[in-house]
Amino acid sequence: MEPKELHPWNVTPKEAVEIQRQLQPLVSLRNRLKRIRYIAGTDVSSSLTDDRVWAGVVVVEYPGLELVEERWAAGKVSFPYIPGLLSFREIPILISALTKLKTMPDLILCDGQGIAHPRGMGLATHLGLLVECPTIGCAKSRLVGTYSGPAEKKGASAEMVHSGKVVGVAARTREGVKPIFISPGNRITLKESLNIVLRCCPRYRVPEPIRMAHVLVNRLRAGNYVSAAPSASALSPAALSG
C-alpha cells in the first residue's frame, strides 16, 4: 500500500486547516466496494511522558473477523494535539505501518472521524484520500453534529446533522452502552458504513478490527509486544519521517 503525496506534512496548524479545505472536494461518498474479503483496523497510542507514538494496523478476514496479519510502527511526532487536526499528528506514523502490510485490505476502519468533522476532513477521510482505499471513521466521541437518540437496543442509530447535512450516525453497538459515532471516510456511503461497522461489533462497543489494533498499540507502549498473528514475522520499529 503506497500513499499518494498530496501535500507536505511539516506544516503549521493554520497551513493544515488550509490543506483540509483544499482536499475536501476530492472526497467521494459513493460506494466503491464490490467485495469485502479483508478489513483493516487502525489505532495510534501516544506516550504520556514524551513525543513517542505507536501505530498499529490489524487485518481481519470478513465477515468472520479472524486475525490475518498485524503490523506496527513506532516513532516521534512534532505536530501538536489539536482537535480537528488529528490526521496531521497520526497519519504519518499510520502510513509507516500500513506500508508494511502483505495482505491488502479492501476497507480500513479508523479510530477517528470521517466526514463528521468541521471541514469534512477527519482522519479516516484524509487517510482514504492518501491510500485510495475505502475508509470509515469510528469515533468514541462526537466532534460535530447534533442527534436525538439512538434507542437503547443494539443496532439502533440516529442521524448526526452538521450545517444542515447528515454527516454520520450515532450507533448503539451494545444494548445499554454509549453509542459510537460512525461517518464515511472516502469511497463509501453512510448506509454501507453503518451496516459494516455493526457487523464488526459482535461483542464489544468498538468494532473488532479497531479493538484489536488498540490492544496491539497498548502492548507496544507497555513494551511487552507479543504477536497474536497466526504467521507473523518479527517486526522492527520504524522511525517516523516527515
Q: Which CATH architecture has domain 13-222?
A: 2-Layer Sandwich (3.30)
- Asked whether residue 235 carries a pLDDT value surpassing 80, the answer given is no
Q: How confident is the model at residue 242 (pLDDT cuts 50, 70, 90)?
A: very low
Q: What is the mean pLDDT of residues 166-175?
A: 97
Reported pTM:
0.92
Select from 124, 136, 146 the least CA-distant residue to 190.
Answer: 136
- Asked whether residue 234 carries a pLDDT value surpassing 90, the answer given is no
CA–CA distance, 27 with 72 (Å, rounded to integer): 27
Q: What is the per-residue pLDDT across 58-90, written as a single tens digit (0 to 9) for each?
A: 999 999 999 999 999 999 998 999 999 999 999
Query: What per-residue confidence (pLDDT) applies to 238?
Result: 36
Query: What per-residue confidence (pLDDT) applies to 223?
Result: 85
Contact 192, 122 (CB under 8 A): no
How do the domains of the chain map onto residue ranges? 13-222
Contact 73, 55 (CB under 8 A): yes
- Asked whether residue 158 carries a pLDDT value surpassing 50, the answer given is yes
Query: What per-residue confidence (pLDDT) applies to 203?
Result: 95
Which residue has cell 513506532?
74
Q: What is the mean pLDDT of residues 115-122?
A: 98
C-alpha cell at 166: 447528515
Neighbours of 146 (CB within 10 A): 11
Which residue has cell 442509530?
157
